[in-house]
A and B are shown apart, each in its own frame.
Chain A
Amino acid sequence: MSKLYTFLKYFFIVFWAVFVVAPFLWALTTSFKDFQSVNGGVTYIPWVDFEPNLEGWKVLIKSPAKGGVDIVEPYFNSLFVTCTASLISIILGTLSAYALSRYTFKAGFVKNNDITFFFISQRIMPPIVLSIPFFLFLSSINLLDSLVGLIVVYIVLLMPIAVWIMVDFFNKVPREIDETALIDGCNPYQAFLKVVLPNSIPGLIVAGMFCIIFGWIDFFFAFILTFTEVQLLPVKIVALNSSVTPWWSLSASALVSVAPLIIVAFIVERYLSKGNLSGAIK
């Protein structure tokens, strides 16, 4: 019985691993192919099935004048916009979440829960609904087609995620910990910085991870709010497509665009496996 169980367990692990890894392997091999090898039937193994070349990768860094698409600048634009917007969202979101978790607000019938819901409601609407006001807003303050404009819009999109996760997290940190810090001589700001925040690192990491993922993968707003001056990676990758689909450079760009998320996932996984994500707060 237990042997069967072990067998099934490993079978599913292997099955799942293949399921998850196969597309990446497929993209990896495809990125080294040329037109001939992609369209000449099913091939998998380099040097045996097909002759690998670096054309797909070279296109990504060649300037358009030489027939390339040059994703280097959009890549760093994307990194810059995502990281800046995530960082600002986390800082503002954490502060708002702490206030919403610990203090009572009342303005007529509007109370804490309504404010929290207001933040979250920003994510309920389909992006297309938001796109028109965003477009008009950015155009009225001359920030269309600029990094700053994108960062502003991404903060609007990411901060609700941070608020949502952090309110929930702070609600689980016993108030008595803040109170003890006050009694031990901290003013409210010190209590937040010295006691509450250090105990909220797991929540900050989760919130940060979600912000980075949602910021990094956004295509829609990057597409609508930029034209020629500034381009983000997802838009540039789509622009690769022409009359003949260049599977090799598409695969290569897909791999480089997934790379930062894989790095983030590995860091979080390290942190998780050290057991730091749970158990800090009983």
Chain B
Amino acid sequence: MNLIANNLTYKPSEEYHLNEVSFNFKEGNLYTILGRTLSGKTTLLKTIAGLLTPDSGAIEFDGKDFLKVPVWQRNVAMVYQQFINYPHLNVFENIAFPLRQRKIDNEEIKNKVMESLKSVGLVGYENRKIQELSGGQQQRVSLARSLVKNAKILLLDEPLVNLDYKLREQLREEFKSLFSKGLADETILIYSTTDPRETMELNGEVIVLDEGKVLQVGPAKEIFENPSSLKVAEISNDPPMNIIEAEISNEQIRFEGIEIKAPNHLSKLTDSGLKIGLRSSDIELNENGHEFEVELAEISGSETLLHLKRGTIKIIMSIEEVLNFKIHDKIKIDFKIDRAYAFAADGKLASSPFGGNNG
């Protein structure tokens, strides 16, 4: 059963929320919609759910025109980034709600709800009020309610974004094991996120969305290795990929008084206005390297993020250990230039270390 969209466009005001979005989702697969905030992820999910009607375009599911089916008959499930539950019902009744709508007998409802509670680790909480639960637990109830329906299409709209760091990690692990348990056998699972790391970990088919437009579609690995454009490279890396305007000639890359020998995949490029893309993790400290000034040093978890400056160039590097730097410290760094990307003046990928290009 495929979910096929054709040129979905939704433009409620001046800006596009969806701009000719097309896709073909197959059952049993996980699709990740990666995009920054306001890129149209929620609009897309709501359109699939039937909460929004696009201005133009078509959605087809199982061979039927999905746009003609009202929300309450579509058999989809959705988890919001806010923890949305029914505050007047307890945990058990919250999860049982969609089943009660279907007039299933009580015994079966009880079994299904208990099973669902088990899968999200909330056994023993069935009589609690929703307001008595923590954010993470509320989101689990929300997830349990969407699982209990056995919906053919499961939509998860940034389900982890409002949780604190630790809970996010923990729930993400649980999601992964839930998904891999064969839950998704006949389900189309659509997961939207702003977090590149989450995208890579979920390892599904990725749709990169920006300003309502699909920029690139492909497996997570492919998006990571060969981002088709500067935009995709920015969206699919956190911290965003460093973009440096540079010149390549005589197999040398030049920028801001630095000269580096170009690796093979970059040496043949001759276009003007080239931009070199380098991940923050592909920069390392080196005594014999190039001098940069520290503008800001952040320590996040076990990682140190350095915002560096040299002339007009600003870059971010990440170091996998906790180091203390002071602002205005001068440090020396080196670039792992063989892992650099090159983008043409129009933003398209010109060359990648993994052999991809747009040509």
List the interface of chain A (C-beta within 8 A of B): 174, 176-177, 179-187, 190, 195, 198-199, 279-282
Contact = CB atoms under 8 A, between A and B. Distances in A.
B150 to A, nearest CB: 12
A198 B85 CA distance: 13
Contacts of A180: 78, 80, 84-86
B72 A187 contact: yes
B131 A183 contact: no
B77 A183 contact: yes
Contacts of B145: 184
A85 B77 CA distance: 42
Question: Which residue, A176, A183, A187, A199, has most C-beta atoms of chain B within 10 A?
Answer: A183
B88 A198 contact: yes
A177 B86 contact: yes
A99 B101 CA distance: 23
Contact of A184 (B46, B70, B82, B101): B101
B78 A183 contact: yes
B355 interface: no
Contacts of B102: 185
Contacts of A181: 86, 97
A184 B87 contact: no
B77 A187 contact: no
Contact of A199 (B49, B71, B86, B101): B86
B80 A185 contact: no
B161 interface: no
28 contacts: A174-B82, A174-B84, A176-B80, A176-B82, A177-B84, A177-B86, A179-B51, A179-B78, A180-B80, A180-B86, A181-B97, A182-B51, A182-B72, A183-B49, A183-B71, A183-B72, A183-B74, A183-B77, A183-B78, A184-B145, A184-B149, A185-B72, A185-B101, A185-B102, A190-B101, A199-B88, A280-B131, A282-B87
B84 A279 contact: no
Contacts of A198: 88
B98 A185 contact: yes
Interface string B81-108: 0101111100000000110011000000
Contacts of B87: 177, 199, 280-282
B131 A186 contact: no
A183 B76 CA distance: 6
B186 to A, nearest CB: 19
A182 B71 contact: yes
Interface string B184-196: 0000000000000
A279 B131 CA distance: 8
A280 B86 CA distance: 9
A256 B160 CA distance: 58
Contacts of B149: 184
A280 B82 contact: no
B82 A195 contact: no
Given A185-B73, A186-B101, 15 more contacts: A174-B84, A179-B71, A180-B80, A182-B50, A183-B51, A183-B76, A184-B72, A185-B72, A186-B72, A187-B72, A198-B88, A199-B86, A199-B87, A280-B87, A281-B87
B161 to A, nearest CB: 14
B72 A280 contact: no
Contacts of A280: 87-88, 131
